[in-house]
Chains A and B, each alone.
Chain A
């Protein structure tokens, strides 16, 4: 499985994007997001980017006001996920030009399209930025 969920949360703890690769009920999601936000957002720059939570791990990275939190299985390669987050951000940068929280908020659908090209069923599908962005560009032209 690998990736269980990808969350983008701002520093007030508001969810800006949530993509789950295993089914959770609404209550479970709410509880999970709350717990994770409490655990991760309070951490400092000097602490590592990995937090153990329940029976999995959260690999997270902060970009300005936005936290990218990825839940992975315990034996997942943490650094690979950490850089995958960065790849996602770079991809968004390429599309939006210096992506910010508002871009993701108001273009939720595009953020979803990109994510959908990058991750499927919790596995990484594509890591080439141009391949990831092709479908979106096609659509904009259309």
Chain B
């Protein structure tokens, strides 16, 4: 008919306004008559009525929305009509219309099968043989357009892309498709489609076209992003999934984990290793500490992700980060350590750098940490206790009693914080070589104290890489001792004494700590088993994540409590130091 003839020239790909005008002019002509003319025999047919109605509404809408540049854009009325038709076939708007049903439906439009086939090829975007709501609307729209004389495009117009869940999207894209939607070269289509691809709302099960590849790419990228986000946000989760063994341990205080790890590695029980270590701070503990500390010192090298992760985890603790913070670090570190693959590596370096900075800051300021001692995370105080306790053989003439008492109590603490003890012992061990001024008795303590001492390069190194706890201990001890104790003795001895005193002070709190640490140890012990059993079950991982989070909160609470205890201990330490000073003149004399 004449309408089709007029529309054909328009269809030659002119600018949108002419199209729009043509469309409007076309609409001016009795749309029903045009439709009827095209489908004279379909008057009785329901589809004809449908088509007429749709065409009518379309034309009306066209007149009203003359601002649209894209004839392929589906107006609201049209869309609503399409949706209603969709419902007649498929009540569920999110469901599919099977190919057979769609075939029957569109066959009613009396279009040639070849054209219907082409329309189907265009509209079935995911090539699944079924039409979603959007696909159906696109197909319907194409049918309507074809019936109105518009030639079918070679490529699906952007405005008809199945992703047109929101008309807004189609309107936004419509302007772009206005120039592309026609039977223009396919080359134009992909470029215009690509920008709209990222705005996909649907998933594309099958993507064979190049444009589809764009979508897949965006999907993949988004999915990868989500994955990465998942990793970053739920760092612990990954460790849990990826790392069966190391993960749980990391979550909890690194020291404890370390100890546990070492224990596990050695195949010994948690309690046993700790006690022997405590009892024999010289050998086992030292060895373990050495190994662990060595790892920590060499933490930079991800030789043992486990240990390195621990170091990282410990660093946060040292810095006084909250348990969650530790968790974040540990989470990252476990990722690094547990999964052999490269992805974790960035974390270790990342966490390492952060931890190192913290460590260095700590190590540098040990002497100056007097004020900052208290500021150290609470985790430190308890740990020093075990380490202090671990050094039963450390005894001073003055503090012998106290030391002994501490040692007795410290063993209790030691099991709770074996890692810590290890570190302290290790540090003390390493420092012993550096600080020969220290008394033999105080070797263990001095070692620990030496660790505290930033002055020692070795200790500083250890501190830098060792657990934060150790550093915490060191800073706390050093500051307290330095600040409170006299300076006649070499700095190392002072810290040792401080530590002894702190042990005394901490003794009363040791029990409390032990209880808390016991809880922690129990939690920690349970954690390692959790990831293993979980395996790679996502749900299990999430459950383990929740458990870890709970553990973290528990640990945070524990830390706060320990902080309180630390403050009390510091006060006691001050008093003891004063007494010591009073006694010293006597000894000198």
Partners in one complex: no
